[in-house]
Amino acid sequence: MTWVSHSVVTFATLFVATQNVFIAGSATLGSAFPDQIEGAFWKASHRSYSHWFVLYVAALAFFWTPDVFSVTGIKAWQMGIVEMMRRFLFWFFAGALLHILEDAICGPVPFWRPTKRTTVLPRLFKVRSVGEVLFVIGYCAVMYVIASYVI
């Protein structure tokens, strides 16, 4: 997926799931992270270590606490910068993990080993294709319908 598609799908998913802009926004920023850290080595190392889900699951475990889901505007001002950064980083890495899941529906990603890409989900479309655009539009439409029943 392109970074725009990652951003839109991640924001829609987490906003519908949590109805929290802080959580959805933090995850949206993280949704581009696996591609951004590849930098100049993009062609040589794309979808290797930066796309290995184990690293992001470890980060989520490190930043996890039971209250990670309770982030409101009023409480954010009272909790302090360290607590706020911990919550931001938890959701940031959740967005990076969603990036990998989203990439898995359009090609192989590392699963057992970070240097060996494996097809783990059916390929639904090619990156930068009309299929990707239709998928994102359809996904957002489904999220809108779900949100209209939840909210």
122-147 per-position pLDDT tens digit? 999 998 999 999 999 999 999 999 99
60-114 per-position pLDDT tens digit? 999 988 777 666 555 655 667 788 888 899 999 999 999 999 999 998 998 888 8
How distant, in Å, are the alpha carbons of 39, 44, 59, 111, 117 from that of 108? 20, 15, 22, 9, 5
Token couple for 81: 């910068």
